[in-house]
Amino acid sequence: MNIELINISKTFQEELVLKDVSGSFDIHSIAVIGPSGGGKSTLLRIIGGLLAPDSGTLKIDGESIEFSKKYLPSYRRNIGFVFQSRGLFEHLTAMENMLLPLVHAFAINKTQAMEISSKLFERFGLTDEKNKYPFQLSGGQQQRIAIARAVAVKPKLLLLDEPTSALDPEYTAEVLNMLGELQNDGLKTIIVTHEMGFAKNACEQVVFLANKQIIESGDSSQIFKHPQTEELQFFLNKILEWKV
Amino acid sequence: MKETGSKEPSLANKAASAIFVAVVLIGFLWFSVSSVGLELDFTTLYQYRQRLWEGFLMTVIISVASLMVSLIIGSLTAIGQNSRILVISYFCRAYVQIIRGTPLLVQIYFFYYIIGMAWGVNNRYIAGVLILSIFEGAYISEIIRGGLASIDRQQYEVAKSIGLTRTKTLQLVTVPILMARILPALAGQFASIIKDSSLLSVIAVIELTQTVQEISADNFRMFENYLFVGVLYFILTVSVSILSGLLERRYNHEYRVNQYQ
Ligand SMILES: Nc1ncnc2c1ncn2[C@@H]1O[C@H](COP(=O)(O)OP(=O)(O)O)[C@@H](O)[C@H]1O
Ligand SMILES: [Mg+2]
């Protein structure tokens, strides 16, 4: 799968957040890294069809995405999105959270939807949680269910916006393990993350976004060893400063 | 249910406390009544049972009709208050402010004798329901607006991300979350409607209060009449709160679980 960004710009209340972001990526797994406020979430939401850019073009496999009310719902259906937190419907149990997109966005019948959901719950060790409401679940469980819900519909691409940033450290591993497993199955992912270990070892490519633009991108094996730009060197030094 | 940490009081404790409260309340009432030398005789009410029953029914009918109309008015104006079209937004806000800022009695006279006459609403029952609905609609509007504002925006973002259309989002996300949140307040408002409907007696709508006024003019047993009618209102409002308790449970558990069966 190829994603092409052509001069994508976005302004929020006079504040320029993305400035002519361009690039072409053959996706298997991409990690997006960069300082807070650099526009990572904004870019991810544009790619996911949740936010329209002010100008520029987004192409998936050579096809331009039309940011119109009519076209977007069906586009979004084929792209999974996992948020940093509070990504489950608060009024539904884990199982109902799984069923809702299957039944109401994909019109799969309930029996079949239940089957799909149960299988995923079982696979990821969530069976005991299926009748619990989000407020009864740990942050790690919530995120894993959110990921399971996103992959249940077999999306073409899964986007994750800092899926572990709001978690206690002991839950981070269980979420990342699940993701790694899904990536190995061939799921295409773009993940915004501060987990450099995951970016380096589990993702093929890394994109460094800062100062409203993509400053540097490349293979994860290379980019951490030999960062080319001063900005990335500075950023990596800063976040790896306290690493054990 | 969240753990509160405190133990549930024992059944004996509950029963003893309830009996104590009942004894104090009844004792207070009995003492007051007997110290003004009043002898209550409720038997005289029996001959008016047919009229009382009809008045009671009329109160129920007016209240239910007003609840439905005021829910419609309240929902529309709640959405309207946040409209980007300023004329609509100002209109809805002005409506809520003015209605909540003036007494119902004033509104009844004003709407019935001036607006009602001018626009040819002559049926006092229809006028009564409309006036009461306009009044209660302003409070319901605020309840709904507050409820909508309390919903986490992220829930809509999630709905969007899984590709739900706007209609489906309203039906599957907004309404269920909203209902669970505002049901207790709505039930309280319905109880207010029941009580407020008594004021429609001033335009001679023959509901419970008007009936009892007419009976009082006939039997001169003011205290018995009003005490009795007070009990009837209380039965209605208590039923509403029991019903709302049941509905709340439905919205919090069964409703959600049954949705997919
Ligand atoms: N909905 C919004 N309204 C206004 N400003 C926003 C909004 N979303 C993001 N921003 C601003 O855009 C900038 C980039 O935000 P974001 O894309 O969330 O960065 P990152 O995810 O890299 O931390 C920030 O300065 C943020 O305040
Ligand atoms: Mg972000």
| Residue found under tokens 């999306």 | A155
pLDDT of res. B122: 83
Q: State the Cα–Cα distance between residues A113 and A208, nearest whole angstrom.
A: 38
CB contact under 8 A, A83 and B168: no
Instruction: List, in order, residues 6 or more apart from A126 with CB less than 8 Å away.
Output: A94, A120, A141, A144, A145, A148
Mean pLDDT of B181-207: 93
Is residue A161 within 8 A of residue A126, CB to CB? The reply is no
pLDDT of res. B254: 45
Q: List, in sequence order, every residue forming a beta bridge with A9; answer none if it has no partner.
A: A55
The CA-based dihedral angle spanning residues B116, B118, B119, B123, taken in that order and rounded to the nearest 10 degrees: 40
Residues A89, A185, A160, CA angle at the centre, nearest 5°?
A: 35
Percentage with pLDDT > 90 across chain B? 74
Of the residues A72, A89, A111, A160, the best mutation for testing chain B's interface (the one with the most B CB atoms within 10 Å of its CB) is A89
pLDDT band at B61 (very low <50, low <70, confident <90, very high): very high
Pairing of strands A189-192, A213-219: unpaired
pLDDT of res. B101: 97
In short, whether A42's Cβ falls inside 6 Å of ligand 1 is yes
Ligand 2 is an ion; residues with CB less than 5 A from it:
A 41
Task: Count the Cβ atoms, other than its own, within 10 Å of residue B170.
Answer: 13
Count CA atoms within 13 Å of residue A11 on its CB side: 6
Q: Which one is predicted more confidently, B29 or A145? A: A145
Mean pLDDT of A99-123: 95
pLDDT band at B119 (very low <50, low <70, confident <90, very high): confident
Could you read off the pLDDT of A46-93 as tens digits, one per residue?
A: 999 999 999 999 999 999 999 998 899 999 999 999 999 999 999 999
Q: State the Cα–Cα distance between residues A155 and A25, nearest whole angstrom.
A: 18
Q: Which one is predicted more confidently, B138 or A241? A: B138
pLDDT at B255 over 60: no
Pairing of strands A205-210, A29-33: parallel
Q: List, in sequence order, every residue forming a beta bridge with A12; answer none if it has no partner.
A: A15
pLDDT band at B6 (very low <50, low <70, confident <90, very high): low
Helix, strand, coil content of chain B in percent (nearest 5): 85, 0, 15
Pick from A135, A91, A104, A95: nearest CA to B179: A91
pLDDT of res. A244: 66
| Residue found under tokens 């335009």 | B203
Pairing of strands A79-82, A157-161: parallel
Question: Which chain A residue's Cα is nearest to B175?
Answer: A91
CB contact under 8 A, A89 and B155: yes
Pick from A38, A14, A3, A79: nearest CA to B163: A79
- Nearest ligand to the C-alpha of residue A165? 2
Question: How would DSSP label each residue in A88-102?
Answer: S-TTS-HHHHHHHII
- Nearest ligand to the C-alpha of residue A35? 1
Instruction: List, in order, residues 6 or more apart from B255 with CB less than 8 Å away.
Output: B176
Task: Count the Cβ atoms, other than its own, within 10 Å of residue A160.
Answer: 26
Q: State the Cα–Cα distance between residues B186 and B170, nearest whole angstrom.
A: 19
CB contact under 8 A, B158 and A83: yes
In short, whether A207's Cβ falls inside 6 Å of ligand 1 is no
Could you read off the pLDDT of B64-90 as tens digits, one per residue?
A: 999 999 999 999 999 999 999 999 999
